[in-house]
A and B are shown apart, each in its own frame.
Chain A
Amino acid sequence: MTGLPGTGRRPDGAAFIIAVLLGGLGGLLVREGGLFPDRAGYAGVGPGGMPFAVGWVLVVLAVWTAIDALRGKPDAREPIEILPVLWILGGLALQIALLKPAGFMVASGLLFACTAFAFGKRNLLITIPVGLVFALAVYGVFDALLQLNLPGGPVETLIFGG
């Protein structure tokens, strides 16, 4: 398994990426905060003040992070396996894509199976049916009993009447 970039010989490489991201976020906030016309009123601080200030602090924190990274203080990090993470993220993406067209049961059942796969239950022939049944039960409890409005697909409509 490959680690994240920078976890190996150069322990501070990742910190630079974090610094760049923080700087980018800070710059965005400073820019957006500066866009507000000066309608500060009595307070002297308008709606743009907060994003502006938070943005600048983030820029400072980014510089601080970069300096720390230059000084090369290695953090003790555990090795990361990327494949299980991708399985879970894939399951979530699948759920987002399928929720409207296929309904809660199918979308969430597949998420269940993908997560189980990521944690080492690799037999999809077992995990998918388990996930579907579990999701259907959850749908029944929360949509029918607790009046939560979950998007239903054909199966849910058939059983619980939509």
Chain B
Amino acid sequence: MTTFDFLLQGLSVAMNPMILLYCLIGVVLGTAVGVLPGIGPALTVALLLPVTYGLDPAGSLIMFAGIYYGGMYGGSTTSILLNTPGESASIVTALEGIKMARKGRGGPALATAAIGSFVAGLIATLALAFLAPYVVKLALIFGPREYFGLMVLAFVTVSAAFGDSTLKGLTSLFIGLALACIGIDQLTGQARLSFGVPQLLDGIEVTTLAVAMFALGEALFVAAQGPRGAEVVEAVKGSVWMSRDDWKRSWKPWLRGTAVGFPIGAMPAGGAEIGTFLSYSMEKRLARNPEEFGHGAIEGVAGPEAANNASAAGTLVPLLTLGLPTSATAAILLAGFQQFGLQPGPLLFITAPQLVWGLIASLLIANCMLLVLNLPLVGLWVKLLTIPRPWLYSGILLFATLGTIGANPSPVELTMLLVFGLMGFGMRVFGYPIAPVVVGLILGPMAEQQLRRALAIAQGDWTTLVQSPIAAILLLLATAALVLPIILRAMGKGRVLSAVAADED
């Protein structure tokens, strides 16, 4: 069967009314958390994991993916109207978006963001569908050493390549890797670092860590900044429809944003924000009147918004085909698959084609739902921004603990939540990135297993890791991604890197 047949088959799964409902819940929730500052898709999926434990796997995963896509749409609304990005992938959108809103062009800004997201999401999801089978074929020739190389590359790009400081990124990553050592060793069954506490034998739950770091850490951090002046929400003035000129200026940035965002999401190179930054600087360079940038240029909204949605779809390529998460949200999605006993990777396309293709097809439908939710109904979402902060964060904390209590109502688990929350707070205060900890925790045991398998196959010969050309290239790339930024920063060119810092989504 060709990809097209599989996609049609997937559509028939996705058109099932129950699946459509899950999809709708996902995109609505996703848009809501995207709009609300302080909570992002990674956290939301982490919160929902325990709740969906008893539900239909396909429906739940489709809901999670809908949240991811929805978050990318919703974030733009906050960026444009509030100048506070709803999630990290929308930081760049705020640059031009808020200027447009202040000039009374908030409507067209929202429209170009929503339609750009739609165009990008559609193209990128189709690209995902047509690319996936090829990556799967490639993945089938991967052995343990190639997987290990791939994971090392992911470690480096998520932690050290971007952001303020190599040191801080690596520190975060190795804290995650240290936490990953806790529990029973998967290859020999020996208990490691459990210190006689039986609850530690199962290891640290990814969801507990993610919820603690993102929800608790963020709430503590925001609370610690003390009371601030009320933020001004720009009213949506004028029509949400774009003029002919707006269309003419928007369609090229949409396509260029998609072209930039998708491969960046697909590479093991961190979250969606990198693509948005590249797209912004590209539009600025290509614009007919670059002096308009910084004063509300529509291209500066259209491009990055397309890029972040394309990245979200791109992230699903390595996740579904290789089982390799390249962002915090993808890491949590992986935990979601594992919760249902599914391991993403080439085999999943053979053992559960219905599920994989149903998921991909659902994303196409989710995209259409999101366009409707975000264009005519944008006024509803703006109302969410008027929830007072005390109620908002109280609610977030209640739900954060609810997830943990529901999964495992033990004081030990809740205490871990508290300790990690405090750690997440400290890391925010001192400027350590959060995502590498989560990625380290989930990828650490996988990388260790692959390494030890590769070494066992080669009877303990470490040179085996570089004897396969693919593995050697991957490790070489990882080394370059580690060393080059250090040199760049030493040469005083670190500003670009910190601007594209991968944050949390």
* A contact set with B: CB distance below 8 Å: 1, 4, 14-15, 18, 22, 25-26, 29, 32-33, 36, 39-51, 54-55, 57-58, 61, 64-65, 68, 75, 77-82, 84-85, 87-89, 91-93, 95-96, 99-100, 104, 108, 111-113, 115-121, 127, 131, 134-135, 138, 142, 146-151
Contact = CB atoms under 8 A, between A and B. Distances in A.
Contact of A32 (B192, B390, B393, B402): B192
A77 to B, nearest CB: 7
B229 interface: no
B456 A41 contact: yes
B452 A45 contact: yes
A90 B460 CA distance: 51
Contacts of B227: 120
Contacts of B54: 146-147
A54 B174 contact: yes
Given A80-B224, A138-B402, A99 B414 contact: yes
A119 B51 contact: no
B390 to A, nearest CB: 4
Contacts of A87: 223
B395 interface: yes
B401 A51 contact: no
Contacts of A41: 456
B214 to A, nearest CB: 15
A117 B393 CA distance: 11
A19 B439 CA distance: 22
B257 interface: no
Q: Across chains A and B, which 4 residue pairs bring their CB atoms closest together, nearest first?
A: A44-B460, A119-B390, A84-B223, A47-B185
A148 B50 contact: yes
A95 B190 contact: no
B409 A151 contact: yes
Interface string B373-399: 000000000000000111101110111
A119 to B, nearest CB: 4
Interface stretch (B105-113, B330-338, B418-426): B418-426
Given A54-B181, A61-B170, A150-B409, A116 B225 contact: no
Nearest to A119: B390
Contact of B406 (A33, A49, A150): A150
Given A95-B414, A112-B398, A134-B398, 17 more contacts: A33-B181, A42-B456, A44-B460, A45-B451, A51-B178, A55-B178, A58-B171, A85-B223, A104-B405, A108-B402, A115-B393, A115-B394, A116-B391, A120-B227, A120-B390, A138-B398, A146-B54
B490 to A, nearest CB: 13
Contact of B431 (A75, A121, A150, A151): A75
A79 B219 CA distance: 16
Contacts of B401: 92, 95, 108, 111
B226 A96 contact: no
Contacts of A118: 223, 390, 393
B192 A47 contact: yes
Q: Is the interface of B mostly helix, strand, loop or mixed?
A: helix
B188 A39 contact: yes
Contacts, number: 190
Interface string B169-210: 011001101100100010110101100000000000000000
B192 A61 contact: no
Interface of B: 50-51, 54, 167, 170-171, 174-175, 177-178, 181, 185, 187-188, 190, 192-193, 216, 219-220, 222-227, 388-391, 393-395, 397-399, 401-402, 405-406, 409, 411, 414-415, 417-418, 421-422, 425, 429-431, 444, 448, 451-453, 455-457, 459-460
B409 A149 contact: yes
16 contacts: A36-B190, A44-B460, A64-B167, A68-B167, A80-B224, A91-B397, A92-B414, A104-B405, A112-B394, A115-B397, A118-B390, A120-B227, A121-B391, A134-B398, A147-B54, A149-B406
Contacts of B444: 50
A85 B219 CA distance: 9
A115 B171 contact: no
Contacts of A108: 398, 401-402
A91 to B, nearest CB: 8
A123 to B, nearest CB: 10
A39 B398 CA distance: 46
Nearest to A96: B414
Of the candidates A41, A42, A43, A99, the one having the most CB atoms from chain B within 10 angstroms of its own CB is A43
Given A25-B175, A54-B181, A80-B429, A119 B394 contact: yes
B460 A115 contact: no
Nearest to A95: B401
A139 to B, nearest CB: 9
A65 B171 CA distance: 9
A99 B405 contact: yes
B51 A146 contact: yes
B114 to A, nearest CB: 30
A15 B431 CA distance: 11
Given A43-B456, A45-B455, A119 B393 contact: yes
A116 B390 contact: yes
Contacts of A82: 224
Given A58-B174, A148-B51, A88 B395 contact: no
Contact of B181 (A50, A91, A112): A50
A10 to B, nearest CB: 14
A15 B192 CA distance: 29
Contact of B174 (A57, A75, A79): A57
Contacts of B406: 142, 148-150
Nearest to B461: A44
A143 to B, nearest CB: 8
A151 B192 contact: no
A92 B421 contact: yes
Contacts of A36: 190
Contacts of A25: 175, 178
Contacts of A45: 451-452, 455, 460
Contact of B219 (A47, A104, A115): A115
Given A115-B394, A120-B390, A134-B395, A92 B219 contact: no
